[in-house]
Amino acid sequence: MTDTPPGAGELVERTRRLLAEHPPATTGRTDFLRARFDAGLAWVHYPVGLGGLDAPRSLQAVVDAELAAAGAPDNDPRRIGIGLGMAAPTLLAYGSEEVKERFLKPLWVGEEVWCQLFSEPGAGSDLAALGTRAVRDGDAWVVDGQKVWTSSAHVARWAILIARTDPELPKHRGITYFVCDMTDPGVEVRPLRQITGEAEFNEVFLTGVRIPDAHRLGEAGDGWRVAQTTLMNERVSIGGARLPREGGMIGKAAATWRARPELRTHELHRRLLDLWVDAEVARLAGERLRQQLAAGRPGPEGSAMKLSFARLNQAISGLEVELLGDEGLLYGDWAMVRPDLVDFTGRDAGYRYLRSKGNSIEGGTSEVLLNIVAERVLGLPAEPRNDKDVAWKDLAR
């Protein structure tokens, strides 16, 4: 290994060497993924020793294409999306070397699932108002509070957590960011049943949970700045997911249109065409966003993509239900299911319509994202605030 980051040719050679030494046909899935991580081909833009080679992020596609052509297993990014899309970039930016070495490999391989302990009953859209407390006790922090809308908490081994450590400071300060062990006896996870009948979200109660100071990310009291890294990556992860043409909701609606000519009307045709164009524009904009991401950290443009994703999903799923008429109102199964992953396009049209309602809430509400676009993209004046210099403990709740 030289100090010069590898180019595309060298990455192809490395990938083929990995495939020769660990043939996918005869190597267990987990063993192959571990070997891929150790070869620096997991996420090539990460540092050497942490699954990468310090190569340009854009070259990941070179590796992925070689592995896909060889039938190599992937790490099921949908199941471990929170770990990959939100925890990993935050660990990389703010974790100690020990933290990075401990967590990144099992996270990427998928051996350890992560969840995100951010939202609270009284602090969702206004996340900085959170009230979960963390009090320093020797070389650890003791955490008490409640989180809500926590995806994957029922299957997670670890969580990224923000908690208030100094209530004397204004709400955006005095917050600290931690890695929380979800197997701690002080962690209780309860299912939160949704409009679809599923319970992919959870409430999480934290009672006397002890987190070692070594699992703190960033400085004590600087957790809001750390959380911004997570939140920006979260919006890109949700809104900028790579889709083929006619992937996602528009693919389902287009397939129904083609298969059921007896349901067509001129008005529905016009609306479907408009939404198809919107979906294609969003897909191509997502590609451009990922190219920007390859050049550095995500910017506020990810908020616009997440906003567009939510609006489109709701409009397209609504059109599909209208297209199907009475049939679209049928809903086959209200049984409570605890899914391991979010399936936005799964099951029937009724499910897609109901599930899409959550798209404008999860990962930052559309109202919050509109503010971000207005202030950070368009440069409009910020909304007046009367809590900027008020201690959190003195805020009305």
DSSP-derived letter for residue 203 is: E
Question: For residue 346, which of 315, 373, 313, 319 has the smallest C-alpha distance?
Answer: 313
Helix spans in the chain (H): 8-21, 29-38, 60-69, 81-82, 88-94, 97-109, 223-239, 249-259, 266-294, 301-324, 349-356, 366-372
Threshold 0.85, pTM exceeds: yes
Instruction: Please identify every residue annotated as catalytic.
Output: 234
- Min mean pLDDT across 110-124, 136-150, 281-295, 370-384 is at 281-295
pLDDT at 178 over 90: yes
Average pLDDT, integer, range 54-75: 92
Please give the pLDDT value at position 294: 65
What value does the mean pLDDT take over residues 94-101? 97
Q: Name the band, by pLDDT with cuts 50, 70 and 90, for residue 369.
A: confident
Non-local (6+) Cβ contacts of 306 within 8 A are 235, 236, 238, 239, 240, 363, 364, 369
In this prediction, residue 239 has a pLDDT band, given cuts at 50, 70 and 90, of low
| Both structure tokens of 111 | 């051996």
Q: Answer with the residue of higher pLDDT: 52 or 363.
A: 52
* pLDDT tops 70 at residue 32: yes
pLDDT at 156 over 90: yes
> 305 is written with which tokens?
């993509």
Assess whether pLDDT exceeds 80 at residue 92: yes
What is the homologous superfamily of the domain 84-226 according to CATH? Butyryl-CoA Dehydrogenase, subunit A, domain 2 (2.40.110.10)
Query: What 8-state DSSP symbol labels residue 212?
Result: E
196 vs 204, which has greater pLDDT?
Answer: 204
Longest dimension (CA), the chain: 71
Mean pLDDT over the full length of the chain: 90
The mean per-residue pLDDT over the stretch 317-322 comes to 95
Task: With cut-offs at 50, 70 and 90, classify the pLDDT of residue 298.
Answer: low
Q: For 344-363, write each residue's pLDDT tens digit.
A: 787 899 999 999 998 888 87
Query: Is the pLDDT assigned to residue 285 strictly greater than 90?
Result: no
Please tell me the predicted confidence (pLDDT) of residue 80.
87
Q: Between 275 and 386, where is the model more confident?
A: 275
Superfamily of 228-378 according to CATH: Butyryl-CoA Dehydrogenase, subunit A, domain 3 (1.20.140.10)
Q: What is the mean pLDDT of residues 247-255?
A: 93
pLDDT band for position 171 (cuts 50, 70, 90): very high
Has residue 2 got a pLDDT over 60? no
Name the 3-class secondary structure at 301.
Answer: helix
Q: Are 177 and 227 in contact (CB under 8 A)?
A: yes
Nearest to 155 by CA among 119, 113, 186: 113
Residue 93: what pLDDT?
Answer: 95
Instruction: State yes or no: pLDDT of 368 exceeds 80.
Output: yes
Q: Reply yes or no on whether the pLDDT at 3 is more than 70.
A: no
Q: Where are the domains of the chain?
A: 8-70, 84-226, 228-378
C-alpha–C-alpha distance, residues 278 and 253, integer Å: 13
pLDDT-based confidence at residue 296 (cuts at 50, 70, 90) = low
